Chain A
Amino acid sequence: MGELFAQFDVWSAFGQTLYLAFFSAIGALIIGTILAIMRVGPVGIFNKAGAAYVNLVRNTPLTLIITFCLIALHYQLKIYLAPEDSPTSIVDNGVRWAIVGLTVYHAAFVCEALRSGINTVPTGQAEAARSIGLTFTQSLREVVLPQAFRGAIAPMASVLIALIKNTTVAYAIGVAETAAFMRDGLEFRPDLSFLIFVLVAGFFVLLTMPLGIALTHLSQRLAVKR
């Protein structure tokens, strides 16, 4: 085990995975929320645009999206996300385009998770709120949204966990995260294959299992009794 840590920069690989997951989660949350607002809003053209985005992105492989980001948008269309003249330009652009790809892909799923949260609220709740005289804003703030957020916890948890696992796809454009360590490790130390696998799999199990259990517990505790 110590050998492994001496030969490869395991910590920075794990760190890179966490970095990718953190920033893409924030990005996906922001864009996914905007998409969800577009899809549930009263304006037809935004409904359609949101639905088109979700259906196109959801049916495209993440590997293709991330590859497209780097080799089409960056190499072909010359869009730079990090200054061209900086010494770490290549690495920075790779990482940032990977975050863009992960964000674009998972935003579609965040949107659907939020929408399914809103769908758990029965129409009668909003009708009751209106009939006791609450205004539109009041009924959203006091009645509908609190229930919708609770209903969205479980689906959002599965999106977040999938996102953490999907950061490995950034290896497709050469980002030095956990999958890259795995590949290098297997190539240069095939004698330690199983140890490397246990280490990497353990990292992901440790990352996703407690999160899954905690968020499921939370969603059950906060579940609206109906």
Chain B
Amino acid sequence: MSSSVLFDAPGPRGQRRNQIIAVIGGVLLLALAVLVIRALYNNGEFTSAKWSPFGQWSTWRFYLLLGIWNTIKAAVAAVALAMAFGFVFGVGRLSQNRAIRWISGAIVEFCRAVPVLIMMIFFFGIYAYNGVFPAAWNPFAAVVTALTLYNGAVIAELVRSGVFGLPKGQAEAGLSIGLTPSQTLVQIQLPQAITAMLPALVSQLVVILKDTALGTIITYPELLQQAQNLASARSNVIPALLVAAALFIGINYLLTLLAGRLEARINRRGHTAGAAIGRAPTVPGAPIDQGAAAAMTPHEARDAAAKAGPQDRV
């Protein structure tokens, strides 16, 4: 617990004071909840006309489930492509060749510095103007392209920090049995790095899933767009958006849970020399702290990763 750093276990007087604060705080939070519910009630947000659509199959079939399907479709396509992009450029940044290293680095840093929405609007415009795809595909293609470029760059950094996080002896052992540097990378270092970065990859899925909602701006019919369509069809704006938010939160919560499970399993199994990677450096232009990573024992690195928290990605 973090509070153990800041506070001693409270004595009798401290406990009493904390109880009083807790009661006052509880009353304040309750008052806030009552205020919100009353505002919603006065606006007629709890009438059955606004909520009954959610009991009908057609609402789910033509709006919400369709939206979830489109969201997941874009997210899965983006994940697959981003992994390919990430591995190509992550390995590129580890290359022996200076030019390849430099070009990969420039591309990765650029993709991390430009907002996803800017790339989305750009590719939407480019695809539409040049007629790259049939017109109906443009929103999907633009969403997937933008998500691929940004998240691919993040995955490239995960690959790189995964390889740097391994103990030095792994590469030395590979070289000393006569493998070339690239054989060492592919056969010794990458397999371990991938295992170590698996939880971070799953929590990156949360980021991708959330960012598909940007697609609503370029008319991609994902969950948020579908919720807004539902809202204008049944004139229940607030319930529709609340249900969409609950669906997003539910899906993301399941993914976060999965990431936690995976991380616990990898740490327990202990087959890999590297610890689970908590996060890639999220700051564009930030170097990976190689010195610190190399100085850590796997055990310390694991602790550090656990402290960093698997998903503080914005």
| Interface members, chain B 108-135 (any A CB < 8 Å) | 109-110, 113-118, 121-122, 124-126, 129
Cβ A113 vs Cβ B285 within 8 A: no
Which chain B residue lies CB-closest to A126?
B5
How many interface residues does B have (CB within 8 Å)?
68
A40 to B22, alpha carbons, bound, how many Å? Answer: 14
Give the size range of A's interface with the partner.
35 or more
Q: Is A216 an interface residue (CB 8 A)?
A: yes
Q: Is B237 an interface residue (CB 8 A)?
A: yes
Cβ A64 vs Cβ B213 within 8 A: yes
Cβ B256 vs Cβ A59 within 8 A: yes
How would you classify the secondary structure of chain A's contact residues: helix, strand, loop or mixed?
helix
| Interface members, chain B 238-285 (any A CB < 8 Å) | 238, 241, 244-245, 248-249, 252-253, 256, 281-285
Cβ B118 vs Cβ A182 within 8 A: yes
Kindly provide the distance from the CB of A55 to the nearest chain B CB, expressed in whole angstroms: 8
Evaluate whether A67 and B110 lie within 8 angstroms (CB atoms) in the complex, with A162-B314, A182-B122 already known. no
Cβ A60 vs Cβ B248 within 8 A: yes
Cβ A44 vs Cβ B43 within 8 A: no
Q: Is A18 an interface residue (CB 8 A)?
A: no
Contacts of A171 in B (CB 8 A): 117, 217
User: A residues within 8 Å of B by Cβ?
Assistant: 39-47, 49, 55-56, 58-64, 67-68, 71-72, 75-77, 106, 109, 112-113, 115-116, 118-123, 125-126, 130, 136, 140, 144, 154-155, 157-159, 161-163, 165-166, 168-169, 171-172, 178-179, 182-183, 186-187, 190, 193, 196-197, 200-201, 204-205, 208-210, 212-213, 215-216, 220
A5 to B19, alpha carbons, bound, how many Å? Answer: 61
Cβ A179 vs Cβ B121 within 8 A: yes
Cβ B214 vs Cβ A63 within 8 A: yes
